[in-house]
Amino acid sequence: MHEAMDVDKTQNNALMWVEKYRPEKLEDLVSQNNIVETIQKYIEQGSLPHLLFYGPPGTGKTSTILAIAKQLYGKHTRNMVQELNASDDRGIDVVREQIKNFASTTSVFGMGFKLVILDEADSMTQAAQAALRRVIEKYTKNVRFCIICNYASKIIPAVQSRCTKFRFSPLQIDQIRSRLNYVIENENVNVTEDGKEAILKLSGGDMRRVLNVLQGCHLAYETIDKEAVYSCTGQPRPEDIRLILDSMSNDEFSTCVEYITGLKTARGLALSDIISLLSELILDINYPNKAKIHIMEKVAEIEYRLCNGSNEKIQLSALVSAFKLGLDMAV
């Protein structure tokens, strides 16, 4: 008996914190209250529709539907739910075989409809989505579908029209802070206040990212402070971004490129991360509007080129050029 308990404890400790602290019940979710209340009413009325959850990563989409499944089926969840990640199972054969076979059979536990969860469904091919539309329509008596994606625009209109859509918004800092404090206390993590604030600043409303950063820093450092967070994640420090902005505003072109290159190498920074934080500062600095418009247009083009595999060294030169030309235009 004691051996079994020790095994369970060891397995629990080996879990990623993202999974270990995933909410078990709808009331455990720290955000999306309006969505939770609406779905709770559907469940109480016994009229759960097909669902389409969309929104940024780490906002509770998968956690919500898994909590719904546990509330509906309890110990029979494994038999009543088919969960597929459409990034792996994205073709039409999956719809025709796995999903159709599961959907076409009725429940053997007398628990009503079964549930199919399609995670990352925006990766599904157009043909697979078209086939899915017919399956949803044909097997509504037996099955409810929950389609999860980051971008609803990538789901064909025919599938969207058969689902009730819920948009998941990025989490508020206060919501993330309460959950972060709970995990820190539960795991006995030694973290300073500035380390905690750094994690929250990097979160971007993504709870999954917060827990991954916290666990990674906990494994790498005895005490998690601001410096540890930025070193572990490889993200630019706010003060470095301000120095870069100051250099682009005041230094000569080649000096600026050399300075940013040296900083990137020393800190192990990616140009795309620098651009993301720079774009937040550009709107607030005391540049003429004409200069801001030009710079932001060019920054958007550079970010797009980086996403498509362009050379970072060339794009860094383009970034500095955009700032220099923007300021010259405004003179």
The DSSP string of 79-125 is: HHEEEEETTTS-SHHHIIIIIHHHHHSPPSSS-S-EEEEEETGGGS-
Residue 24 lies in a domain: no
Residues 152 and 203 in one domain: no
**CA neighbor of 232 nearest in space, from 207, 213, 211:** 213
Collapsing DSSP to helix, strand or coil, 190 comes out as: coil
Residue 162 lies in a domain: yes
Residue 248 lies in a domain: yes
The last residue of one of the domains, among 199, 233, 267, is: 233
The last residue of one of the domains, among 192, 213, 233, is: 233
Residues 276 and 300 in one domain: yes
Please tell me what DSSP assigns to residue 169.
P
The pLDDT value recorded for residue 97 is 72
pLDDT tens digits, residue range 278-302? 888 888 878 888 888 889 999 999 9
Residue 19 lies in a domain: no
Please report, for the domain that includes residue 294, its CATH number. Answer: 1.20.272.10
Residues 154 and 189 in one domain: no
Please report, for the domain that includes residue 76, its CATH number. Answer: 3.40.50.300
CB 306 within 8 A of CB 315: yes
Residues 321 and 202 in one domain: no
Which portions of the chain are predicted below pLDDT 70?
Answer: 1-14, 86-91, 93, 95, 106-111, 330-331
Residues 60 and 145 in one domain: yes
Cβ-based neighbours of 32, under 8 Å, separated by 6 or more: 59, 60, 64, 166, 168, 169
Longest CA–CA separation in the chain, Å: 79
The pLDDT value recorded for residue 10 is 42
Residues 250 and 311 in one domain: yes
The dihedral sign for the CA sequence 184, 226, 201, 154 = negative
Query: What is the spatial distance between Cα 230 and Cα 24, in angstroms, rounded to a whole number?
Result: 31
Cβ-based neighbours of 22, under 8 Å, separated by 6 or more: 63, 66
Residues 242 and 221 in one domain: no
Residues 188 and 162 in one domain: no
Which residue is listed with tokens 């383009």?
318
Residue 17 lies in a domain: no
Per-residue CA distances from 212 to 22, 40, 231, 291 (Å): 13, 29, 14, 38
Residue 14 lies in a domain: no
Count of domains forming the chain: 3
The last residue of one of the domains, among 201, 216, 233, is: 233
Residues 124 and 181 in one domain: no
Residues 74 and 188 in one domain: no
Residues 251 and 226 in one domain: no
Residue 133 lies in a domain: yes
Residues 222 and 254 in one domain: no
Number of other CB atoms surrounding residue 8 within 10 Å: 10
Domain residues for 131?
32-167
Residue 65 lies in a domain: yes
